[in-house]
Amino acid sequence: MRVALVGCGRIARVHRSYLEGIQHAEIVGVCDVDEAARGAFLAGSSIPGFGSIDELVGQARPDVVHVLTPPATHAPLAKALLEAGVNVLVEKPLAMTAAEGREVIACAERAGRWVSVDHNRFFDPVVQRAAAAVEQGRIGDLVGVDVFQGAEVGEAEKMLGESDDWRVNLPGGILHNLASHPLYLMRRFAGPAKSVQVLASVLAPGKLSEVRLNADGENCLATVTMSARTKPFTNRLSLFGTGGTIEVNLNNMTFIERRTRKLPKLVGKVWPNLDEARQLVGSTASNTVAYVSGKQRFYPGIGVHLSRLYASVAAGGEPPVSAAEGLDVVEWYDRILAAAGIEVAGEGR
């Protein structure tokens, strides 16, 4: 398939590096209004560059365009591309508001094209391992999901002063940029939420500090915690079952599985700690070998996601992340920002 990229920032380089290894995808053009950014991205490359969407679509004739620009531009760009007859993959989130997200989906339906979202963290190998364990019934019936999303050291402090960083200046600040990850992980495991309760506080006007979200999912209950101030930087997924639990560290890509075992009382006090230590050392060692050998790179979930996406659509199937899933995440954004008293200006409002 003929693929183009809109936006020439850091994440575009990641997409390009993985696309170059996918047999079903050929990069036919990139677009960025910033000529310097476009030039730096294309240095040493034969890929054509364009300064506008019209030029990109008219001359490169892509089948799919990856929208890799800041979130406020996602909905307008996606709609313009869909109306031009192009399928669209959007970096998270789908849109700034649920109203915008619904407009994007309606536009895709009218155009007879698909729109999907890069919910990449679900496709990280360690999360895929957790999903397989749940599907195989290794921890029994899933009864709870808990996701924690922190911010890197110093990120919260950026919200207290002037900054030209678009992540800091999003409605909600740093957490607005990160919120998609825990929300889509919650949805993937707990299922679409039948009801949601949200508590949120701010560090400064319009800047989220702490979020607590409880959801009654179709599969089980779930909680999401987001914090701009917790130190050290923590990022984890916990899955609770009737026969065991799984703990995934999303920063270090480690996996710990705890299952119920009938052991003598004294052994039962010691064995869980030894078993967890064994698993932690094993995960750390295998990750180190994978990175050093080049078998695993940064943002591995993007690579897995793109590979599955193009294999699926090339075979006439659907993208692995549905537009409905992307919309659910943005609807939860709306609830979080409303709970914090933060207004969002968007095309759909």
pLDDT in tens, 85-141: 999 999 999 999 999 999 999 999 999 999 999 999 999 999 999 999 999 999 999
**Residue 37 above 50 pLDDT?**
yes
User: Is residue 86 one of the residues assigned to a domain?
Assistant: yes
- How many structural domains does the chain have? 1
- Residue 345, pLDDT score: 67
Q: Where are the beta strands (DSSP E) in the chain?
A: 2-6, 26-31, 49-50, 64-67, 87-91, 115-118, 142-150, 193-204, 207-217, 221-227, 235-241, 244-249, 254-259
- Residue 348, pLDDT score: 47
- Residue 339, pLDDT score: 96
Helix (H, G, I), strand (E, B) or coil at 53: helix
Angle at 16 between CA 10 and CA 18, to 5 degrees: 110
Note down the domain range covering 63: 2-119+303-320
pLDDT band at 346 (very low <50, low <70, confident <90, very high): low
What are 49's strand-pairing partners? Answer: 30
User: Is residue 156 one of the residues assigned to a domain?
Assistant: no
User: Is residue 175 one of the residues assigned to a domain?
Assistant: no
**Residue 269 above 80 pLDDT?**
no
Share of the chain above pLDDT 70, in %: 99
Give the least confident one: 43-47, 234-238, 256-260. 256-260
The CATH number for 83's domain is: 3.40.50.720
pLDDT band at 270 (very low <50, low <70, confident <90, very high): confident
pLDDT in tens, 189-240: 999 999 999 999 999 999 999 999 999 999 999 999 999 999 999 999 999 9
Give the least confident one: 72-76, 137-141, 151-155. 151-155
Q: What's the token pair of residue 168? A: 């800091």
User: Is residue 106 one of the residues assigned to a domain?
Assistant: yes
User: Is residue 228 one of the residues assigned to a domain?
Assistant: no
User: Is residue 60 one of the residues assigned to a domain?
Assistant: yes
User: Is residue 61 one of the residues assigned to a domain?
Assistant: yes
**Average pLDDT, stretch 181-194?**
97
- Residue 155, pLDDT score: 86
Q: How far is CA 100 from CA 105, 108, 342, in A?
A: 9, 13, 17
Phi-psi region of 112 (alpha: psi -120 to 50; beta: other; left: phi over 0): left
User: Is residue 309 one of the residues assigned to a domain?
Assistant: yes
Q: Quote the pTM value.
A: 0.95
User: What residues contact residue 32 under an 8 Å CB cut-off, 6+ apart?
Assistant: 6, 7, 8, 38, 41, 49, 51
> Rounded CA gap, 154 and 163, in Å?
13
